[in-house]
Chains A and B, each alone.
Chain A
């Protein structure tokens, strides 16, 4: 088959990985108006929890039980991190928050290696690894794209149609005013963190069957996830998913036909900067007008 088409399909499949993670990035950005640089590591750790729940070396639960349990646990964990770690320093400068993200990054990474060691782990998939289109794309990757789209629908509906979604946006964008109109800002922040952690967990569980589960699976991936979210627009879940796919495809095209495989990360870097400069709101994001 034509190299171009094959690279495009392969990019689409990798793009699904980025799209998943970009959704998690958008989720947290909506909730706290921030990036969470520890998001990748948190997702990785959630995935290890799922692995422990379902693997024979752990509890040996059926896949879907472990899947749901992992999402619930991640939600609790994410909310707990907000309440325990971030609530006390909510007034501290942004830089302090970034330092805490770095701290969390280091802690989850270290803990995962300590608890589960570093040898790559196999992560089960309910979709199997059988060919979907022979020689082109496997059933898991198709399943992954499907789950990503379902997730997208859920998140979209959450922000669009539920009052909680709206309140969460309000709490993130303007805590003072939100408080005045009766939004429980602390509760909203915890909820946002919990949801973001859950979305991250789903992303991790979809990615792991492809990349294999290791403590370092997310470092590079997160950068592409950020790139996807930025390209699509940080305020738009749909944009993030499209952005993720675009980054995946663009990366393959550039790597194959333009700059060679040695500069792929640089492509992501340049992409981020160019989009931020030319169209800071991303493809589908809202333009935020700032009062000065």
Chain B
């Protein structure tokens, strides 16, 4: 009898809670304001990424200047986690429980987001558009409150694999990868894309650590392995080193450069254009240093925004484009949510984008999500370095990883 009462009481409480949640906005939402939390490495080894959060802050500043979202100002609270997972837990809990933010947006890093993955989903607080390309963020069945934004690393690997299978099925591939989740995800992507041929086509793998001074030694090994295709999975500094080192060694394989480091301004021009001719890479965002976009309306808007709201920012840094584009996506979702700013509805809106074009995406690339598809951007276009810019070629490629499944 007692148990029955308890069950009934809790059932009633549950109904009430659900009813209340539907009617009530998320914490952090008032008639005038939406509080959004974010963790980013402003200090420590990954501090280069903080440019993303700074850009997002500047982008929300612009939006607030233009009247905010549906009359509400965005209060973007971005805190430092130093790329240290335990610190991310502390900061995230503080944002959620003390600052009472409505949700988290563009938290940076795979290990850091992993550390709060369970917490956010237990608390039912949206962990939206995390700034990492790991594949695990698109798992609505087990983690319905978490969603990525950028195309995942594996899908890019698949794009290169398809290119190789079509154009050079006998390629002998040598892989240079950063020894962390990001590097390994790229390797998996390529392996998946090559399928049964992976074992015969990949003939050498060399890893390096972010603390290594140079990548010279692994490259010497790759060259000596007899590889004719070089799959380069490294962050900007090491990518530039690798381009220069290949040139120094007179090694001229087909160079597949991961998109993390394909910025003309901060990588390719630094290494030297002549050293990287013919490299192939993939992109989903416009490169701000590519002259092709100078006359594009979205570029002009981005450029004007940089001048006015983020004058300290580096215009050659593609992170500013990423932050800007992700911020615009967030604004789009909030606008669609209208006045129902419950966490459920914000999540539902994020999971029902149809052919949305965030500014600065490459022409032809669209954002699509559904209740079973938590991968907002899944498209790539390949491009080849020619002269002082990238020349895009071929169709927009759909990354197959986990689309829907």
Do the two chains bind? yes
Alpha-carbon distance A99/B314, docked complex (angstroms): 34
Further contacts, 16 of them, CB under 8 A, given A118-B48, A211-B237, A212-B241: A6-B220, A14-B213, A109-B43, A117-B51, A119-B266, A120-B236, A120-B240, A120-B266, A121-B270, A131-B250, A134-B250, A210-B214, A217-B213, A221-B213, A251-B217, A256-B221
Min Cβ gap B213→A in Å is: 4
Task: Indicate which residue in B213, B217, B236, B240 contacts A10 across the interface (CB closer than 8 Å).
Answer: B217
Render B35-57 as a binary contact track against A, CB cut-off 8 A, 1 for contact. 00000000101011011000000
Most chain B beta-carbon neighbours within 10 Å: one of A14, A119, A135:
A119
Chain B: which residue is nearest A210 at the CB level? B214
Report if A113-B212 is in contact (Cβ < 8 Å); known contacts: A119-B266, A210-B241, A262-B207. no
Q: In the assembled complex, which residues on chain A have CB atoms less than 8 Å from the CB atom of B317?
A: 117, 119
A212 touches B237 (CB 8 A): yes
B209 touches A7 (CB 8 A): no
Task: Count residues of chain A with CB under 8 A from any CB of chain B.
Answer: 45
Q: In the assembled complex, which residues on chain B have CB atoms less than 8 Å from the CB atom of A251?
A: 217
Q: Give B26-73 interface residues, CB cut-off 8 Å to A.
A: 43, 45, 47-48, 50-51
Q: Give A178-226 interface residues, CB cut-off 8 Å to B.
A: 207, 210-212, 214-217, 219-221, 223-224
Q: In the assembled complex, which residues on chain B have CB atoms less than 8 Å from the CB atom of A11?
A: 217
Chain B contacts to A: CB under 8 angstroms: 43, 45, 47-48, 50-51, 179, 206-214, 216-218, 220-221, 223-224, 236-237, 240-241, 244, 248-250, 265-267, 270, 272, 314, 316-317
Q: In the assembled complex, which residues on chain B have CB atoms less than 8 Å from the CB atom of A129?
A: 244, 248, 272
Min Cβ gap B402→A in Å is: 28
Q: Report how many A-B pairs have Cβ atoms within 8 Å.
A: 108
B47 touches A118 (CB 8 A): yes
Chain A: which residue is nearest B213 at the CB level? A221
11 chain-A/chain-B pairs, Cβ below 8 angstroms:
A17-B213, A118-B48, A119-B48, A119-B266, A119-B317, A135-B248, A211-B237, A214-B48, A221-B213, A224-B213, A264-B209
Alpha-carbon distance A227/B206, docked complex (angstroms): 24
Report if A215-B237 is in contact (Cβ < 8 Å); known contacts: A7-B221, A119-B314. no
Min Cβ gap B234→A in Å is: 12
Query: Which 3 interchain pairs have the tightest Cβ spacing?
Result: A220-B211, A118-B48, A135-B250
Interface residue A252 (Cβ < 8 Å from any Cβ of B): yes
Alpha-carbon distance A47/B267, docked complex (angstroms): 19
Chain A contacts to B: CB under 8 angstroms: 3, 6-7, 10-11, 13-14, 17, 109-110, 113, 117-122, 129, 131, 134-138, 207, 210-212, 214-217, 219-221, 223-224, 251-252, 255-256, 261-262, 264-265
Min Cβ gap A47→B in Å is: 14
Chain A: which residue is nearest B50 at the CB level? A118
Min Cβ gap A288→B in Å is: 30
Chain A: which residue is nearest B43 at the CB level? A110
Q: In the assembled complex, which residues on chain A have CB atoms less than 8 Å from the CB atom of B214?
A: 14, 17, 210-211
Min Cβ gap A138→B in Å is: 5
Report if A135-B240 is in contact (Cβ < 8 Å); known contacts: A11-B217, A119-B48. no
Min Cβ gap B236→A in Å is: 5
Chain A: which residue is nearest B275 at the CB level? A129
Report if A220-B209 is in contact (Cβ < 8 Å); known contacts: A14-B214, A129-B248. yes
Alpha-carbon distance A121/B266, docked complex (angstroms): 8
Chain B: which residue is nearest A2 at the CB level? B224
Task: Indicate which residue in B48, B249, B270, B314 contacts A135 across the interface (CB closer than 8 Å).
Answer: B249
Q: In the assembled complex, which residues on chain A have CB atoms less than 8 Å from the CB atom of B218?
A: 255, 261
Alpha-carbon distance A217/B272, docked complex (angstroms): 20
Min Cβ gap A73→B in Å is: 24
Alpha-carbon distance A214/B211, docked complex (angstroms): 12
Task: Indicate which residue in B211, B224, B249 contacts A219 across the interface (CB closer than 8 Å).
Answer: B211
Q: In the assembled complex, which residues on chain A have CB atoms less than 8 Å from the CB atom of B47?
A: 113, 118, 215
A261 touches B217 (CB 8 A): yes
Alpha-carbon distance A207/B316, docked complex (angstroms): 24
B217 touches A138 (CB 8 A): no
Min Cβ gap A275→B in Å is: 20
Alpha-carbon distance A121/B267, docked complex (angstroms): 9
Most chain A beta-carbon neighbours within 10 Å: one of B51, B213, B217, B272:
B213
Report if A219-B45 is in contact (Cβ < 8 Å); known contacts: A13-B216, A212-B270, A261-B207. yes
Q: In the assembled complex, which residues on chain B have CB atoms less than 8 Å from the CB atom of A113?
A: 43, 47
B248 touches A138 (CB 8 A): yes
Chain A: which residue is nearest B244 at the CB level? A129
Most chain A beta-carbon neighbours within 10 Å: one of B47, B265, B267:
B47
Min Cβ gap B81→A in Å is: 15
Task: Indicate which residue in A120, A214, A256, A265 contacts B217 across the interface (CB closer than 8 Å).
Answer: A256
Alpha-carbon distance A216/B213, docked complex (angstroms): 10
Task: Indicate which residue in A109, A210, A265 contacts B211 across the interface (CB closer than 8 Å).
Answer: A265
Q: In the assembled complex, which residues on chain A have CB atoms less than 8 Å from the CB atom of B217?
A: 7, 10-11, 14, 251-252, 255-256, 261
Most chain A beta-carbon neighbours within 10 Å: one of B211, B217, B224:
B217
Q: In the assembled complex, which residues on chain B have CB atoms less than 8 Å from the CB atom of A7?
A: 217, 220-221
Alpha-carbon distance A134/B267, docked complex (angstroms): 24
